[in-house]
Amino acid sequence: MRSHRAETFTRVIDAVFACNGGFLAAGDALTAPAGLTVAQWQVLGFLEDGPATAAEVARRRGLRRQSVQETVNRLLRNGMLDRLPNPVDARAPLLALTRQARAAMRALGEAQVEWAEEVAAEVPLEDLETTLRTLQRLRGVVAQPRLL
Protein backbone atom coordinates (compact mmCIF):
# COMPACT_ATOMS: atom_id res chain seq x y z
CA MET A 1 0.00 0.00 0.00
CA ARG A 2 1.38 3.41 -0.99
CA SER A 3 1.91 6.13 1.55
CA HIS A 4 0.11 9.43 1.21
CA ARG A 5 3.47 11.02 0.31
CA ALA A 6 4.10 8.50 -2.49
CA GLU A 7 0.54 8.92 -3.78
CA THR A 8 0.90 12.70 -3.80
CA PHE A 9 4.27 12.46 -5.55
CA THR A 10 2.71 10.21 -8.21
CA ARG A 11 -0.01 12.83 -8.74
CA VAL A 12 2.72 15.50 -9.11
CA ILE A 13 4.40 13.38 -11.80
CA ASP A 14 1.09 12.99 -13.63
CA ALA A 15 0.51 16.76 -13.48
CA VAL A 16 4.03 17.48 -14.76
CA PHE A 17 3.52 15.10 -17.70
CA ALA A 18 0.17 16.75 -18.50
CA CYS A 19 1.76 20.22 -18.30
CA ASN A 20 4.62 19.09 -20.49
CA GLY A 21 2.15 18.02 -23.16
CA GLY A 22 0.51 21.43 -23.00
CA PHE A 23 3.86 23.21 -23.08
CA LEU A 24 4.93 21.19 -26.13
CA ALA A 25 1.67 22.03 -27.94
CA ALA A 26 2.12 25.73 -27.10
CA GLY A 27 5.75 25.51 -28.21
CA ASP A 28 4.73 23.96 -31.52
CA ALA A 29 2.33 26.88 -32.09
CA LEU A 30 5.07 29.39 -31.22
CA THR A 31 7.80 27.77 -33.31
CA ALA A 32 5.77 26.93 -36.44
CA PRO A 33 5.93 30.46 -37.94
CA ALA A 34 9.74 30.33 -37.64
CA GLY A 35 9.84 26.93 -39.37
CA LEU A 36 11.18 25.22 -36.25
CA THR A 37 10.10 22.48 -33.86
CA VAL A 38 10.13 22.66 -30.08
CA ALA A 39 13.13 20.28 -30.01
CA GLN A 40 15.03 22.55 -32.39
CA TRP A 41 14.12 25.58 -30.29
CA GLN A 42 15.49 23.85 -27.18
CA VAL A 43 18.82 23.16 -28.87
CA LEU A 44 19.10 26.66 -30.33
CA GLY A 45 18.17 28.19 -26.98
CA PHE A 46 20.98 26.33 -25.26
CA LEU A 47 23.47 27.48 -27.90
CA GLU A 48 22.51 31.15 -27.48
CA ASP A 49 24.99 31.19 -24.58
CA GLY A 50 27.81 30.07 -26.88
CA PRO A 51 29.09 27.07 -28.83
CA ALA A 52 28.79 23.59 -27.32
CA THR A 53 28.84 19.97 -28.42
CA ALA A 54 25.70 17.91 -29.00
CA ALA A 55 26.63 15.81 -25.95
CA GLU A 56 26.83 18.93 -23.78
CA VAL A 57 23.42 20.08 -24.97
CA ALA A 58 21.91 16.67 -24.20
CA ARG A 59 23.49 16.45 -20.75
CA ARG A 60 22.51 19.97 -19.66
CA ARG A 61 18.97 19.72 -21.06
CA GLY A 62 18.41 16.24 -19.62
CA LEU A 63 17.75 14.78 -23.08
CA ARG A 64 18.95 11.66 -24.89
CA ARG A 65 22.13 12.30 -26.86
CA GLN A 66 20.80 10.46 -29.92
CA SER A 67 17.65 12.61 -30.14
CA VAL A 68 19.71 15.79 -29.73
CA GLN A 69 22.07 14.63 -32.49
CA GLU A 70 19.11 14.03 -34.83
CA THR A 71 17.82 17.52 -34.08
CA VAL A 72 21.29 19.00 -34.60
CA ASN A 73 21.57 17.24 -37.96
CA ARG A 74 18.27 18.81 -39.11
CA LEU A 75 19.41 22.25 -37.90
CA LEU A 76 22.70 21.88 -39.78
CA ARG A 77 20.83 20.93 -42.98
CA ASN A 78 18.50 23.92 -42.55
CA GLY A 79 21.35 26.40 -42.16
CA MET A 80 20.63 27.16 -38.51
CA LEU A 81 23.91 25.81 -37.11
CA ASP A 82 27.57 25.87 -38.02
CA ARG A 83 30.17 23.31 -36.98
CA LEU A 84 33.33 24.75 -35.41
CA PRO A 85 36.57 22.96 -34.55
CA ASN A 86 36.68 21.73 -30.96
CA PRO A 87 40.15 22.23 -29.44
CA VAL A 88 39.32 19.73 -26.68
CA ASP A 89 37.96 16.87 -28.82
CA ALA A 90 38.36 16.89 -32.60
CA ARG A 91 35.70 14.16 -32.95
CA ALA A 92 32.99 16.32 -31.30
CA PRO A 93 32.61 19.61 -33.18
CA LEU A 94 31.31 22.68 -31.41
CA LEU A 95 27.93 23.86 -32.63
CA ALA A 96 27.20 27.56 -33.10
CA LEU A 97 24.16 29.55 -34.16
CA THR A 98 24.08 31.11 -37.62
CA ARG A 99 22.69 34.58 -38.31
CA GLN A 100 19.51 32.91 -39.53
CA ALA A 101 19.15 31.07 -36.21
CA ARG A 102 19.75 34.24 -34.18
CA ALA A 103 17.01 36.04 -36.13
CA ALA A 104 14.59 33.15 -35.55
CA MET A 105 15.44 33.12 -31.83
CA ARG A 106 14.78 36.86 -31.53
CA ALA A 107 11.34 36.45 -33.13
CA LEU A 108 10.57 33.42 -30.98
CA GLY A 109 11.74 35.21 -27.86
CA GLU A 110 9.23 38.00 -28.41
CA ALA A 111 6.37 35.55 -29.02
CA GLN A 112 7.37 33.44 -25.99
CA VAL A 113 7.42 36.46 -23.66
CA GLU A 114 3.94 37.47 -24.80
CA TRP A 115 2.65 33.91 -24.26
CA ALA A 116 4.37 33.62 -20.86
CA GLU A 117 2.88 36.93 -19.69
CA GLU A 118 -0.61 35.69 -20.59
CA VAL A 119 -0.22 32.31 -18.90
CA ALA A 120 1.64 33.61 -15.84
CA ALA A 121 -1.08 36.20 -15.21
CA GLU A 122 -3.41 33.29 -14.34
CA VAL A 123 -1.22 31.98 -11.48
CA PRO A 124 -0.05 33.88 -8.39
CA LEU A 125 3.67 34.72 -8.52
CA GLU A 126 4.23 33.03 -5.15
CA ASP A 127 2.82 29.77 -6.54
CA LEU A 128 5.09 30.00 -9.59
CA GLU A 129 8.14 30.58 -7.39
CA THR A 130 7.23 27.63 -5.12
CA THR A 131 6.67 25.40 -8.16
CA LEU A 132 10.03 26.40 -9.61
CA ARG A 133 11.90 25.64 -6.37
CA THR A 134 10.10 22.31 -6.00
CA LEU A 135 10.77 21.18 -9.56
CA GLN A 136 14.43 22.17 -9.29
CA ARG A 137 14.74 20.18 -6.07
CA LEU A 138 12.97 17.15 -7.59
CA ARG A 139 15.23 17.27 -10.64
CA GLY A 140 18.25 17.07 -8.35
CA VAL A 141 16.74 14.22 -6.34
CA VAL A 142 15.76 12.09 -9.34
CA ALA A 143 19.16 12.67 -10.95
CA GLN A 144 20.80 10.76 -8.10
CA PRO A 145 21.38 7.08 -8.92
CA ARG A 146 18.92 4.75 -7.19
CA LEU A 147 18.13 1.06 -7.29
CA LEU A 148 14.60 0.27 -8.47
Alpha-carbon dihedral of residues 59, 60, 64, 65, nearest 10 degrees? -60
To the nearest whole percent, how much of the chain has pLDDT over 90?
Answer: 85
pLDDT at site 118? 96
Residues 70 and 40 sit within 8 Å (Cβ to Cβ): no
Q: Where are the beta strands (DSSP E) in 23-100?
A: 81-84, 94-97
Q: Tens digits of per-residue pLDDT, 77-125?
A: 999 999 999 999 989 999 999 999 999 999 999 999 999 999 999 999 9
Name the β-bridge partners of 96: 82
Residues 117 and 137 sit within 8 Å (Cβ to Cβ): no
Contact partners, residue 24, CB within 8 Å, separation at least 6: 38
Predicted TM-score (pTM) of this structure: 0.80
Q: How confident is the model at residue 147 (pLDDT cuts 50, 70, 90)?
A: low
Residue 100 amino acid letter: Q
Given a cut of 80, whether residue 1 has pLDDT beyond it is no
**Dihedral sign computed on CA atoms, order 94, 68, 113, 134:** negative
In whole angstroms, what is the distance from residue 79 CA to residue 65 CA? 21
Q: Averaged over 47-63, what is the pLDDT?
A: 92
pLDDT at site 145? 78
Q: Is 138 left (phi over 0), alpha (psi -120 to 50) or beta?
A: alpha
Q: How many CA atoms lie within 13 A of 53 on its CB side?
A: 14
Given a cut of 70, whether residue 148 has pLDDT beyond it is no
* Closest to 46 in 3D by CA, of 36, 37, 56: 56
